[in-house]
Chain A
Amino acid sequence: MVHAFFDPAQTAAFNALAIKKDSTFEVKYFGFHGLAGVTRTLLALSGCKFTSVNPEDWASEKPHTPFGVMPLLTETSADGKTTIHVAETGAIERYLARKFGLLGSDAFEEVLVNTFVSNNHSLQWAILSKYFIPKDPEVKAANKETLITSNIVPWIKYHEEHLSTNGGNGHYVGNKVSFADVTTDFVIGLIQGVTGEEFVSKTKTPAIWEVREKLNKIESVAAWKKTEEFKELNEKNFATLGFY
């Protein structure tokens, strides 16, 4: 029997809801940023109402999910009549990015956004898997130097360069916020979690820093980051994973 998330019977309803920008959302995930941080930022950007749910009894919910993992997105139509679900971080982020116009304005811009997102994902994975996921401090320390030399420093060089050639306006593509900008904001947090302000800061990497500043100037993002909920997610993220 097909999983509810994948049932083709909902195709028409799903397609109709996919283009709506007035839904309400629920993000099911643990009480920190982790793999849901970018999703919550995308929702904050959109200005749509969203709640974060950290299941009290994940063990009993797990078998009902398509892959036994979170995050999971639930979207409910403005009239309350339609509900759809999306699983997998990559799919959720891309679904929201498309819905809210964060994938560029045409095929060319979409490729550019995807290019920077892809490069960001590579760094994100390297830092998470080599530094924040390992618990052994010796492993962390052993990986740190290589991470800096082979991954972080090149990333900084290329992104500072490409952002500068786009005018240092805090955007990767044209003059509009995109999925690329949101993922870089997340990556800045990861890098600073490893190296503090040694490599990435307003003075050292002005073009990269401007991405964060521009994002934080968006009214709904600024509002989200001032909530108690966000501050708690931040603190728990630092406590559990080691970065803000």
Chain B
Amino acid sequence: MVHAYFDPAQAAAFNALAAKKDSTFEIKYFNIHGLGGVSRTLLAISGNKFTSINPEDWASEKPLAPFGVMPLLTETSADGKTTIQIAESDAIERYLARKFGLLGSDAFEEVLVNTFVSNNHSLVNAFAGKYFAVKDPELKAANMELLITNNIAPWIKYHEQHLAANGSNGHYVGNKVSLADVTTDLLLGLIQGVTGEKLVSKSKTPAMWEVREKMNKIKGLSAWKQTKEFKTLSEKNFAALGFY
């Protein structure tokens, strides 16, 4: 029997809701940023109401999820009549980015956004595999040196260059916030979590820093970051993963 998330019977309802910008949302995930951070940021930017749920008994809910993992997104229409669900952080992020106009304004801009997002994901993966997944402190430290030389330093060079070439306006594409900006903001947190202000900071990487500053000026996002809930997620993220 087809999983509820994938049932084609809901196609029409899903397509209708996909175009709406007035839904309410629920993100099911642990009480950290982790793989849910970008999704929550996208929702905050949208200004839509969203709640984060950390299941008390994930073990019993796990078998019901399409791949046994979180995050999971639930979207409910403004009239409360339609509910849809999406699994997998990439698919969730891409769905929300498209809904809220964060994938550029045309095919060219979408390719640009995707290009920077893809490059950002490579760095996130490198961090995850070489740093966060490693328990042995000596190996972690050794890997971090390589990560800095082979991954972080080049990333900084290229992104500072491309952002400066776009006018250092805090955006990768034109003059609008996009999924590329959001993912870079996440990476600034990861990099600073490990290297403090040694590699990225307002003075050292002004064009990149402007991405974060522009994002934090977005009303819905700045309001979200001032909530107690956000601060708890940040603290728990630091405790669990080592970055804010």
Contacts and interface: CB of A to CB of B under 8 A. Distances in A.
Contact of A10 (B15, B108, B118, B122): B108
Interface residues of B, number: 45
Interface in B101-145: 106-109, 111-112, 114-115, 117-119, 121-122, 125, 129
Contacts of B1: 165
Given A19-B107, A89-B118, A68 B158 contact: yes
Nearest to A94: B114
A165 B2 contact: yes
Interface in A1-27: 1-3, 5-6, 8, 10-11, 14-15, 18-19
Nearest to B159: A67
A15 B108 contact: yes
Nearest to B68: A154
A66 B106 contact: no
Contact of B115 (A86, A112, A121): A86
A111 B94 CA distance: 8
Main secondary structure of the interface of B (DSSP, over half): helix
B66 A68 contact: no
B18 A67 contact: no
Interface in B170-197: 174
A90 interface: yes
Contact of B154 (A68, A94, A106, A162): A68
A162 B3 CA distance: 7
Count class of interface residues, chain A: 35 or more
Contact of A15 (B86, B90, B106, B115): B106
Interface in B1-51: 1-3, 5-6, 8, 10-11, 14-15, 18-19
A97 B119 CA distance: 18
Contacts of B119: 67, 87-88
B208 interface: no
A115 B68 contact: no
B223 interface: no
A107 interface: yes
Contact of B158 (A66, A108, A114): A66
Given A3-B165, A165-B3, A18 B15 contact: no
B88 interface: yes
A134 to B, nearest CB: 10
**Most B C-beta atoms less than 10 A away, residue of A87, A91, A158:** A91
A90 B11 CA distance: 26
A127 to B, nearest CB: 11
Given A2-B165, A3-B165, A117-B90, A158 B67 contact: yes
B200 interface: no
A10 B162 CA distance: 16
Contacts of B95: 111, 114
Given A11-B108, A106-B15, A119-B67, A111 B86 contact: yes
Given A154-B68, A166-B2, A174-B8, A107 B129 contact: no
Nearest to B106: A15
Given A11-B108, A108-B15, A162-B66, 9 more contacts: A3-B165, A14-B111, A67-B119, A86-B111, A90-B118, A91-B115, A114-B95, A121-B90, A154-B68
21 contacts: A3-B162, A5-B115, A6-B112, A11-B109, A14-B108, A18-B107, A86-B111, A91-B115, A91-B117, A95-B114, A108-B10, A108-B15, A114-B94, A115-B6, A115-B91, A117-B90, A118-B88, A119-B87, A154-B67, A158-B66, A162-B2
Interface of A: 1-3, 5-6, 8, 10-11, 14-15, 18-19, 66-68, 86-91, 94-95, 106-109, 111-112, 114-115, 117-119, 121-122, 125, 129-130, 154, 158, 161-162, 165-166, 174
